[in-house]
């Protein structure tokens, strides 16, 4: 990987990695540190990593960095900084629905949360998610489906309560 | 296996995750059209799917790798920066080996010093000069043995060619006396045959005449002593041997090594102290 290709990776994937980490840990500065660490590792291993697999490599490194960070901090709850970052984010249609869904996602365990984020944000396939998170494809499928059903029931329950 | 009312949820989940093939996607869509009561189920799952946010990472400038960050020095310039420390020869001798070597060296120097001393003191004796001893037969009075009397001292031409750059060994007025060792077996009863090494007088000394006279006196005195002693009859004379006594107590014990002059006495004192120090160290160990 050349310097130019690396800088293109920064342009193309830095936002996605940052968003993925930020949505998971909810802390802006920690998320930035993890992103920086991921790109540092990509630079060190630039001769081993192909350009086409750079994105997957970045997410893999960032995910494991995040897991280490969560284990150290022992917190997976959304902090105030995450709330501020989320407030800056532009939601598509229904801000209220998004807030409810965001709260429901935070009730998931870290693995399910990462699965949902990788699938919905980045559009990775089950196989790619399994490679990033070091899970089998069937595990990804089962864990992700459980998370989907949990989120759906949460939304249905809240709609019934609202009605 | 096609979609039905028992497995529709799994198909719906795969559908919203876009993990189905095109034909399966069409099958799911047909199933919902045919069974509208399941349309809300699919819509609820699609609502639970998160729509990506637009979050911008603002610190990309820290992630870029600029060319100057990878700037490297040329090899020629690096070669100028290289330093090489001078190699130091390290001896593997330990203290014992060093002490042994020093002792051997000291002994060798002492040996050389004694050798020079020996050469200096015996130069006149070991020179090409031929030293002849005269045998004197001493008989007791009343016997038929004749007494050979020393008429003249042996005069030796000292042609000592040994020349030290510092010391002149051609000492013309040096007289070496040799004592007479009388065999203890010689008694009054036995005549004694004495091999007498007479004094040697160097010829080229101007004051030799005085020495000659003294030697003559000495010889005659000895003969008188011998003749005055009443000796008994003896069947045969007993021969005794004389030993050379070399005066080694010279005041000058200077050791010459090349152009260096070392006082022998001081050096011997130092060597003794040095040896005593080593012995003390050994005892302390």
Confidence tier at A74 by pLDDT (50, 70, 90): low
User: Which residues from B are below 8 Å from A when comparing CB atoms?
Assistant: 9-10, 13, 16-19, 44-45, 47-57, 59-60, 62-65, 67, 70
Rounded to an integer, the average pLDDT of B256-278 is 78
Identify the pLDDT of residue B245.
58
* Average pLDDT of chain A, as a whole number: 81
Question: Residue A154's closest chain B neighbor by CA?
Answer: B48
- B149 pLDDT above the threshold of 70: no
- pLDDT, residue B201, reads 45
Same domain, A76 and A14: yes
Q: Using DSSP bridges, classify how beta strands B192-196 and B134-138 pair: parallel, antiparallel or unpaired.
A: antiparallel
| Final residue before a domain boundary, out of A24, A59, A89 | A89
Least confident of A57-61, A106-110, B2-6, B156-160: B156-160
Nearest to B67 among A3, A36, A98 (CB): A3
Domain boundary among A50, A72, A89: A89
My answer on whether A11 and A50 are in the same domain is yes
Average pLDDT, integer, range B39-49: 86
When the pLDDT of each residue in chain B is averaged and rounded to a whole number, the result is: 65
A81 and A129 fall within a common domain: no
Read off the pLDDT of each residue in B230-248 and give the average, rounded to a whole number. 54
Q: Which residues 81-140 in chain A show a CB within 8 A of chain B? A: 85-86, 88-93, 97-98, 101, 104-105, 116-117, 119-121, 123, 125-126
Least confident of A50-59, A63-72, B61-70: B61-70
Distance from C-alpha of A135 to C-alpha of A139, rounded to nearest angstrom: 6
Range of the structural domain that residue A38 is part of: 1-89
pLDDT higher than threshold 90 for residue A30:
no
Indicate whether B5 pLDDT > 60: yes
Q: Reply yes or no on whether the pLDDT at A58 is more than 50.
A: yes
Q: What is the CATH number of the domain that holds A131?
A: 1.10.10.10
State residue B146's pLDDT score: 44
What's the pLDDT score for residue A2?
Answer: 76
Residue extents of the structural domains in chain B:
1-72, 96-277
pLDDT of residue A71: 80
Chain B CB contacts of A119 below 8 Å: 17
Same domain, A80 and A122: no
Of the listed ranges A138-152, B172-186, B226-240, the least confidently predicted one is B172-186
Mean pLDDT of B122-137: 46
pLDDT at res. B107: 93
Average pLDDT (A22-28) is: 84
Least Cα separation, residue A131 to chain B (angstroms): 16
* Claim to verify: residue A78 and residue A105 sit in the same structural domain: no
Among candidates B10, B53, B65 on the partner chain, residue whose Cβ is nearest the Cβ of A19: B53
Q: How far is CA A48 from CA A13, A151, B253, in A?
A: 18, 39, 86
User: Are B51 and A120 an interchain contact pair (Cβ–Cβ within 8 Å)?
Assistant: yes
Chain A nearest CA to B77, separation (Å)? 25
Name the minimum distance, in Å, from the CA of B99 to any CA of chain A.
Answer: 59
Q: Are residues A5 and A85 in the same domain?
A: yes
**Claim to verify: residue A75 and residue A28 sit in the same structural domain:** yes
Does A101 lie in the same domain as A150? yes
Is there a single domain that holds both residue A85 and residue A12?
yes
B62 → chain A, closest CA residue: A36
- CB nearest to A152's CB, from B44, B52, B64: B44
| pLDDT at res. A141 | 93
> Residues A34, A99: one domain?
no
pLDDT at residue B227 tops 70: no
* Contact partners, residue A57, CB within 8 Å, separation at least 6: A42, A45, A49
Which stretch, A80-89, B116-125, B140-149, B187-196, has highest mean pLDDT?
B116-125
* Helix/strand/coil (H/E/C) assignment for every residue in chain B: CCCCCCCHHHHHHHHHCCCCCHHHHHHHHHHHHHCHHHHHHHHHHHHCCCCCCCCCCCCHHHCCCCHHHHCCCCHHHHHHHCCCCCCCCCCCCCHHHHHHHHHHHHHHHHHHHHHHHHHHHHHHHHCCCCCCCEEEEECCCCCCCCCCCCCCCCEECCCCCCCCCCCCCCCCCCCECCCCCCCCCCCCCCCEEEEECCCEEECCCCCHHHHHHHHHHHHHHHHHHHHHCCCCCCCCCEEECCCCCCCCCCCCCCEEECCEEECHHHHHHHHHHHHHHHHHHHHHC
Structural domain total, chain A: 2
- CATH number of the domain to which A79 belongs: 1.10.1740
Minimum-distance CB partner of B51 among A7, A19, A92: A92
pLDDT tens per residue across span A93-152: 566 777 888 888 888 988 999 999 899 888 889 999 999 999 999 999 999 999 999 998
- Of residues B211 and B240, more confidence is placed in B240
Q: How far apart are CA A99 and CA B50, in angstroms?
A: 11
Taking 50 as the threshold, does the pLDDT of residue A79 lie above it? no
């Amino acid at each position: 990987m050349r310097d130019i290709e690396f800088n293109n990776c920064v342009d193309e994937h830095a936002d996605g990695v940052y968003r993925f980490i930020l949505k998971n840990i909810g802390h802006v500065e920690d998320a930035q540190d993890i992103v920086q660490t991921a790109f540092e590792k990509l630079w060190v291993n630039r001769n081993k990593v192909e350009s086409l697999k750079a994105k997957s490599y970045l997410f893999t490194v960032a995910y494991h960095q995040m897991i280490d960070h969560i284990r150290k901090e022992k917190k997976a709850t959304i902090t105030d900084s995450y709330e501020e970052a989320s407030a800056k984010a532009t939601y598509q249609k229904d801000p209220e629905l998004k807030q409810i869904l965001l709260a429901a996602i935070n009730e998931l365990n870290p693995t399910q949360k990462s699965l949902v984020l990788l699938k919905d944000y980045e559009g990775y396939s089950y196989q790619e998610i399994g490679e990033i998170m070091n899970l089998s494809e069937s595990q990804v499928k089962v864990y992700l489906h459980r998370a989907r059903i949990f989120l759906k029931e949460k939304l249905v329950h809240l709609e019934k309560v609202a009605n | 296996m096609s979609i039905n009312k028992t497995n529709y949820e799994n198909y719906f989940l795969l559908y919203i995750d876009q993990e189905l093939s095109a034909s399966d996607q069409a099958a799911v869509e047909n199933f919902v059209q045919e069974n509208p009561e399941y349309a809300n189920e699919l819509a609820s799952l699609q609502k639970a799917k998160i729509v990506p946010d637009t979050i911008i990472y603002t610190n990309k400038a820290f992630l870029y790798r600029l060319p100057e960050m990878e700037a490297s020095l040329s090899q020629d310039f690096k070669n100028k920066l290289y330093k090489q420390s001078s190699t130091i020869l390290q001896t593997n001798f330990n203290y014992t080996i060093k002490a042994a070597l020093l002792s051997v060296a000291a002994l060798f120097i002492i040996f050389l010093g004694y050798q020079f001393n020996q050469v200096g003191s015996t130069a006149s004796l070991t020179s090409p000069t031929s030293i002849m001893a005269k045998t004197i037969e001493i008989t007791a009075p009343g016997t038929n043995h004749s007494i050979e009397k020393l008429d003249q001292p042996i005069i030796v031409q000292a042609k000592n060619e040994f020349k030290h750059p510092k010391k002149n060994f051609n000492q013309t007025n040096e007289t070496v006396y040799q004592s007479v060792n009388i065999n203890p077996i010689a008694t009054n009863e036995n005549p004694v045959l004495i091999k007498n090494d007479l004094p040697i007088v160097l010829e080229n000394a101007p004051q030799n005449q005085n020495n000659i006279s003294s030697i003559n006196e000495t010889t005659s005195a000895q003969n008188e002593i011998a003749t005055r002693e009443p000796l008994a009859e003896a069947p045969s004379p007993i021969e005794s041997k004389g030993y050379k006594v070399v005066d080694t107590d010279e005041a000058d014990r200077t050791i010459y090594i090349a152009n260096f002059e070392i006082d022998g006495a001081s050096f011997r004192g130092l060597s003794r102290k040095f040896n005593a120090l080593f012995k003390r160290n050994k005892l302390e160990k």
